[in-house]
Structure 1
Amino acid sequence: MPQPVQGGQPGGVRTDSSTVAQGLLLYADRVRRMAPAELAQEVTRLSDIPEAQRQPAEEMQLAILLAQTRVPADLVRAQGLAQRVLGNPREEARGLYPLAGMLVARYAEQRRVEEALDRQAQQLREQQRRIDQLTERLEAVRAIERSLTSRPPPNGHRPPPGQP
């Protein structure tokens, strides 16, 4: 993923951070179209890299992947990975700070929205449960009304029309 370019000290090779960030954006676009099985396979591949050996760009890749799984715990993990890149003082991480900061903010907002949706769904389920209870009570009252109106009046006399 990182493209080495000449620079820094004589004979040294450094990573061009704009090229890495651009590569991560292209990667994110590709990840967005991945099938669930392919996504899981890629998450496994990057998760298998020991944390101490994982490069900042690989942490960003894993964060991008995890945010696509639609699993709340994975989104929390994705946000943590992007925050780790923000806290990494190495040069290759510093070049990713703007992208990592944007992802941290985006993932935080996504978490807030998903939590709000979960609360609304819970409220909807509770309201539906109450509606069902009230419907059952209403049907019970209607059944009682029907049983009262279908009984013959006492002494075999029917009241004149228009009277209860």
Structure 2
Amino acid sequence: MTLPFRHSLTASMTIALLAGCGAGPSSQRAAETAAAQARLASAVAEAARPSASQPAPVSITAPVVDDTTARMLAYAERVRLMQPPELNQEIARLGDAASPGAQLQLSLALSQLRQLPELVRAQELLARVLGNGEARALHPLARLLASRYGEQRRLEEQLEKQNQQLRDVQRRLDQTNERLEALKAIERSLTSRQPAAAASAPANNRARPAAP
């Protein structure tokens, strides 16, 4: 029973007792009215009491992030903001990355270079982390990164293929331009020879003696 209902019930019972101590019909009617109010207050309080069949309220809490994962996410944000020279220094600092944590960090740093060979190496490092049974705390993040790197590698390979096709087209275009320039040079040489041949013909005619 809650405190307001308890106070209401106590007050109603007090009124009923005081009314019962009085004399006369009016006092009796007042006592009956007070008793009815007390019974009403008791019924309201009983209805407000939680039932045993009602489920207890469920406490919703935010998921707990492991400290190791939180540190890795903070490191990922830090290397994301690095410039290529800083990334190269960080990659050199990590070196061979013997521990799973260092391997995951090196993988994150390599992925920021956005070059296909480094991305392949980053995937290999993630595979080593996932194959280490003692690094289970890093496995969820490593699987997430492996999926992301797979998609990134697919895009990088597609971009590399398009760049190769563009280089091939440019090479064929350069070869065509070279042939065209060679043909133009031949045409210029033929054009320059024709006036020279035409100018030498009258001179030869003047030098030839007249027939008797």
- TM-score range (shorter-chain normalised) is 0.5 to 0.7
Match of 2:110 among 66, 81, 84: 66
Identity %: 55
**1:87-139 deviation line (CA, Å, top 9, x unaligned):** 2222xx22222211121122222222222222222211111121122233334
* Equivalent in 81, 87, 93 of residue 33 of structure 1: 81
The structure carrying a bigger helix percent of its residues is 2
Residue 141 of structure 2 corresponds to which residue in structure 1?
99
The answer to whether the Cα contact below 8 Å between 1:24 and 1:61 also exists between their aligned partners in 2 is yes
Q: Which amino acid aligns with 1:25?
A: L
**Cα shift readout 1:13-34 (whole Å, capped 9, x = no counterpart):** xxx8623222212211110111
Residue 160 (structure 2) pairs with residue 118 (structure 1): yes
TM-score, normalised on structure 2? 0.52
Cα gap change, 1:42 to 1:143, in 2 (>3 Å)? closer
TM-score by length of 1: 0.65
Paired with 1:44 and 1:107, the residues of 2 have a C-alpha distance of 21
**CA–CA separation in structure 2 for the residues paired with 1:114 and 1:20:** 30
Q: Give the direction of change, closer, same or farther, for the CA distance of 1:126–1:31 in structure 2 (3 Å limit).
A: same
Matches within 5 A, 1:2-151: 18-47=66-95, 51=98, 54=99, 56-90=100-134, 93-142=135-184, 151=194
Larger Cα Rg: Structure 1 or Structure 2?
2
Residues 147 and 30 (structure 1 numbering): CA distance in 2 closer, same or farther, change over 3 Å? same
Q: Is the 8 A contact 1:28 1:64 kept in 2?
A: yes
Considering Cα pairs closer than 8 Å and 6+ residues apart, tell me whether 1 or 2 has the greater RCO. Answer: 1
Q: Is the 8 A contact 1:32 1:68 kept in 2?
A: yes
Shift of 1:148: 6.8
Q: Is there any run of 5+ residues in structure 1 with no aligned partner, and where? A: 1-15, 155-164
- What is residue 7 of structure 1 aligned with on the other side? none
CA–CA separation in structure 2 for the residues paired with 1:84 and 1:44? 19
Equivalent pairs, count: 134
Sort the Cα spacing of 1:42 and 1:139 in 2 relative to 1 into closer, same or farther, 3 A: closer
CA distance change for structure 1 residues 17 and 79 in 2, over 3 Å: closer, same or farther?
farther
Q: What is the alpha-carbon distance in structure 2 between the residues aligned to residue 43 and residue 17 of structure 1?
A: 27
SS at match of 2:66: helix
Counterparts of 1:137 and 1:83, CA distance in 2: 51
CA contact (8 A) 1:17 1:96 kept: no
Q: Read off the aligned partner of 2:129 and give its amino acid letter.
A: V
SS in 1 for 2:133: coil
Counterpart CA distance in 2 for 1:139 and 1:109 is 45
Cα distance in structure 1, aligned partners of 2:136 and 2:94 = 21
Superposed CA RMSD in Å reads 2.8
